[in-house]
Amino acid sequence: MAAAVAALTLGGGGLVAYGLSQQETRDPAWVASSDGSHEGHGMSSSAVEPSGSSTSGSSSGSAGSADPHAGHMGMGGSSSSGSSSPTAAKKPAARYVRPSGETLARSQPTKVRIPSLDVSSTIGELGLQQDKRMEVPQDGTSTGWYTGSPTPGELGPSVLAAHVTWDKKPAVFFDLGAMKKGQKIEVDRKDGTTAIFSVEDVGQYPKSDFPTDDVYGTVDHAALRLITCGGFFDGETGHHVDNVVVYAKLVGSR
C-alpha cells in the first residue's frame, strides 16, 4: 500500500511568496511487490522512484505523479509471483497556482475519521525503504500518509492509503468505494486542528488505466485523496485488478 501527502505553510507574505515556498514533491512510480509477506492483505508494497527533492511544500499544488496501477495501498494484495505493474508515468507539468478557498499550515496528520463508514484510524508515516519501495501500513487498521506529499489541509492533493483487506478479512478501507458525494472526511492534525473534507467524486479504475494526473496533478485548493484496492481479486497474481480513489476537497476546519 502506499500513500502520498505533501505539506506547505501559509504565511503572511502573500500568494506569490506562498507559491514559491511550496515543496517539490516526490514522484513515486508504484510497482507491486513480489514479497509474499502480506499475502491476502489486499495491498502490496510499492516501489517508488523519487523524481525530485522533498523540502517543505509543493510549489505546483500537486503531489507529484505516480502510476499506482498495481501497487497502491490495499489495491493489490501481495504476490509471490512477481511484479505486475507498469513503469512510472510521466510527471504532470508543474505550474504555480493561486490557492482557492481555505488552506491550512503544514501539520502532520494523526487520525482519519469517516463517519459514514464508521471508520476511525490512526495515521502513520509512509516513506521509502532502502530499495526505494514505498513502505506500507503494517496492519489492517491503520492508514498511511506518504511524507513526500502535502499534509491534509495544505494546497495540493494530500494522499492517504490503507489496506482493503488484511489476512483475508475486511481492513480499514474495505468500504471506501461506497462513499457518496457530500459525505465528510475528518483528519486530525498534530497542531490540534481538524481538517474537514467533503467528497466530490469516487472512482474505480483498472490498474492499467490509473488516472495519474487526476489523483496527483496540480489543483488550486486543499485536496485529499484516499486510495485502496478494489475490484476482482486475482488469486493467481495475488492482486486486486482495480484501484478505488476518493476525491475530496477541504470545506472547513476546527
> What span, in angstroms and rounded, lies between the C-alpha atoms of 45 and 43?
7
Residue 210 has which C-alpha cell? 490509473
Length of the chain: 254
> What span, in angstroms and rounded, lies between the C-alpha atoms of 63 and 229?
20
> What span, in angstroms and rounded, lies between the C-alpha atoms of 230 and 104?
31
| Domains, the chain, ordered by start | 14-253 (2.40.260.10)
Cβ–Cβ under 8 Å, residues 32 and 76: yes
Does this model's pTM top 0.75? no
Per-residue pLDDT of the chain (254 residues; tens, 9 = 90+): 433 332 222 122 222 222 323 333 444 433 223 233 333 344 544 323 333 333 334 445 776 444 333 344 433 333 323 332 323 344 455 567 788 889 999 999 999 999 999 999 999 998 777 876 567 788 999 999 988 789 999 999 998 989 999 988 999 999 999 999 999 999 999 999 999 999 999 999 998 898 989 988 889 999 999 999 999 988 888 888 998 999 999 999 99
